[in-house]
Amino acid sequence: MSTDLDFRQLQELAAEILGTDPEKVQLDVSFARDLAADSLDLVELIMAIEETYGVKLPEEELARMHQIKDLWAYLQAHEASASGEPPAASASAAS
Amino acid sequence: MGSERVVVTGLGFVTPMGNDIETVWSNLVAGRSGVGPLTRFDASAYPTRIAAEVRDFTAEEYMDRKTARHASRYCRYALAATRQALDHAALDPSGLDPDAVGVLLSSAVGGMEEIERGQTTLLARGPRWISPFTTPMMIADMAAGMIAIHFRAGGPNFAVVSACASSAHGIGEAAEIIRRGQAAAMIAGGAEAAITPLTMAAFCQIQAVSQRNDDPTGACQPFNLGRDGFVMGEGAVVLILEAAEHAAMRGARALAEIVGYGATADMHHFTAPEPEGRGAARSMQQALARSGLAPSDVGYINAHGTSTKLGDIAETKAIRTVFGAHAGRLAVSSTKSMSGHMLGAAGAFEAAATVLALDRGVLPPTINLDDRDPECDLDYVPNQARPVRVDLALSNSFGFGGHNACLAIRRADAA
């Protein structure tokens, strides 16, 4: 699997979406507890990750991830060639 | 219950006339126009290419990055104006009973910029690329919701929508909430950010907006013979309304008192005012009746005065109907001549300008008034501010749909 992913890029992307500093996005921090991400933030994060990395990241997949390292591992395992595909996640979390 | 007097103890501004109270006031008194070339988008294909835009506004001075990112533009303005108004009033809702302070923050159209952006994404890329924040950003009540969250104000919370009269109705209704004892204070006002491609195109098609593109500061000419429509504005203005007893108890200075409120419908047309101004006249009569004061007590009217042919004449007739011979003795001015038309924030801006005029003893002028329309035959305070002590003033606001609102505002020490 690809190992040329840039962690700094993920830090910056997540920080932009979650309104925090890139340095606070570390492998062992929690989305909800440490980064105060709510369900809408996570849908936005999914969209940004799918766009940037060309991977599909189903919502239920993200729901199982508690820390940045879970997302990082997923990206390393799934870094796609299939960029440009529509995202798999539904953006209907806001009800 | 039902007898509380309601005073204004704080004001906040994010407007084309400035982003703080003293800048706004000095520009109003100097007769400076906030209109300039339209810069929010490329308007080169539009017949109107001027607007009264908010300038030099940095949301992060008032809120954290994440809040700013998830708030639509009109909500960012509203949060900033609320921060200023609460500071001005020295009121901190988080230190009070959660029911004590409510929010009635109006917007005529809500997050139009975000709706248009979402629609563009939808057509270009499809439904799965629509931001989950589209709904909270587009709805017109979200400023009220965000203010409650941000400032811990847990009382009555909603928006009143009546187009260009929205925040005048909002202030009137907020005062009633205090009067009936449902809140000790209300964060009341309006916010708008509708200088967008679709909204501008739509207003151009109504032929209601000025096309004087080569003279932006001279474009808005209420009551002037050469007027050719209003100028689109934007921004947010917030007033802290408070039960007089509550304000006195905590030692807050009252800037003015809201003594009356009238609300009527024209029953006439989508966009055109009823030509005789009968609905407008009834709203002024109601506001006066509620105040218990006489028409002859009124010294100043902040007119709706948008600079449209029909509107300015109908309002002039309405004032003549209500005041008879006294109409010739009172001063009327349109601050829209300077601020442009802030739509859902207009009523709040004009109520705030009226509060300052009463408190500081200077009436802001109607600028660009050199050749008065013969059918507009009142004293419109042309071009120069006028130092004069007034006890009682009205602020008129009329909206598409035929909605009329009038606020009667008294100088704090005139009671």
Q: Read off the pLDDT of each residue in B188-198 and give the average, rounded to a whole number.
A: 98
Identity of the residue in A44, A86, A90 whose CB atom sits nearest the CB atom of B131: A44
Q: Read off the pLDDT of each residue in B5-32 and give the average, rounded to a whole number.
A: 98
Mean residue pLDDT across chain A = 81
Contact B204, B46 (CB under 8 A): yes
Positive or negative torsion for Cα B30, B61, B190, B157: negative
pLDDT tier, B3 (very low <50, low <70, confident <90, very high otherwise): low
CA distance A22 to A33: 16
Task: For chain A, give every domain's residue range.
Answer: 7-78
CA distance B41 to B60: 22
pLDDT for the residue A61: 87
* Helices of type H across B129-215: 134-138, 142-151, 166-179, 197-206
Q: Read off the pLDDT of each residue in A69-92 and give the average, rounded to a whole number.
A: 65
pLDDT for the residue B169: 98
Residues 84-113 in B contacting A (C-alpha not used; CB under 8 Å): none
Q: Does B60 touch chain A (CB under 8 A)?
A: no
pLDDT for the residue A11: 95
Q: Check A94 against B136: CB less than 8 A apart.
A: yes
Task: For chain B, give every domain's residue range.
Answer: 6-249, 260-414
CA distance B374 to B223: 9
The tokens of B15 are what? 């407007």
Q: How many CB atoms lie within 10 A of CB B63?
A: 19
Least confident of A66-80, B105-119, B210-224, B263-277: A66-80
Contact B278, B321 (CB under 8 A): yes
> What digits encode the pLDDT tens for the residues B306-358?
999 999 999 999 999 999 999 999 999 999 999 999 999 999 999 999 999 99
Q: Residue A90 pLDDT more than 90?
A: no
Mean residue pLDDT across chain B = 97
pLDDT for the residue A62: 84
Q: Does residue B214 sit in helix, strand or coil?
A: coil
Minimal CA separation from B60 to chain A, in Å: 12
pLDDT tier, B415 (very low <50, low <70, confident <90, very high otherwise): confident
pLDDT for the residue B2: 52
Q: Check B65 against A93: CB less than 8 A apart.
A: no
Residue in A with minimal Cα distance to B137: A94
Q: Which of B129, B135, B139 to mutate to test the interface with A (most CBs of A within 10 A)?
A: B129
Q: Residue A88 pLDDT more than 90?
A: no
Q: Does B69 touch chain A (CB under 8 A)?
A: yes
- What's the length of chain A? 95
pLDDT for the residue B199: 97
Q: Considering only CB atoms, which chain A residues are within 8 Å of B135?
A: 94
Assigned CATH topology for domain B6-249: Peroxisomal Thiolase; Chain A, domain 1 (3.40.47)
Q: Read off the pLDDT of each residue in B49-63 and give the average, rounded to a whole number.
A: 97
pLDDT for the residue B414: 85
The tokens of A63 are what? 């729901």
Q: Does B136 touch chain A (CB under 8 A)?
A: yes
> Helices H, strands E: what count in chain B?
13, 14
Burial, B306: exposed, middle or buried (Cβ in 10 Å; 0-12, 13-18, 19+)? buried
Q: Residue A93 pLDDT more than 80?
A: no
Report how far apart the first and last C-alpha atoms of chain B are (Å, whole number). 20
Q: Read off the pLDDT of each residue in B193-219 and give the average, rounded to a whole number.
A: 97
Q: Check B129 against A44: CB less than 8 A apart.
A: no
Residues 351-410 in B contacting A (C-alpha not used; CB under 8 Å): none
Residue in B with minimal Cα distance to A36: B66
Active site residues of B: 164, 304, 341
| Reported ipTM | 0.76
Contact B2, B180 (CB under 8 A): yes
Strands B298-302 and B392-399: parallel
Assigned CATH topology for domain B260-414: Peroxisomal Thiolase; Chain A, domain 1 (3.40.47)
Residue in A with minimal Cα distance to B68: A19
Residues 11-70 in A contacting B (C-alpha not used; CB under 8 Å): 18-20, 36, 39-40, 43-44, 47
Contact B228, B208 (CB under 8 A): no
pLDDT for the residue B1: 42
Q: Read off the pLDDT of each residue in B18-41 and give the average, rounded to a whole number.
A: 98
pTM reported for the whole predicted model: 0.93
> What digits encode the pLDDT tens for the residues A20-63?
999 999 999 999 899 999 989 999 999 999 999 989 988 888 88
Assigned CATH topology for domain A7-78: 1.10.1200
Minimal CA separation from A64 to chain B, in Å: 20
Q: Read off the pLDDT of each residue in B90-106 and give the average, rounded to a whole number.
A: 97
Identity of the residue in A19, A47, A86 whose CB atom sits nearest the CB atom of B66: A19
Dihedral pair phi/psi, residue B140, rounded to 5°: -80, -5
Contact B75, B234 (CB under 8 A): no
CA distance B115 to B11: 29
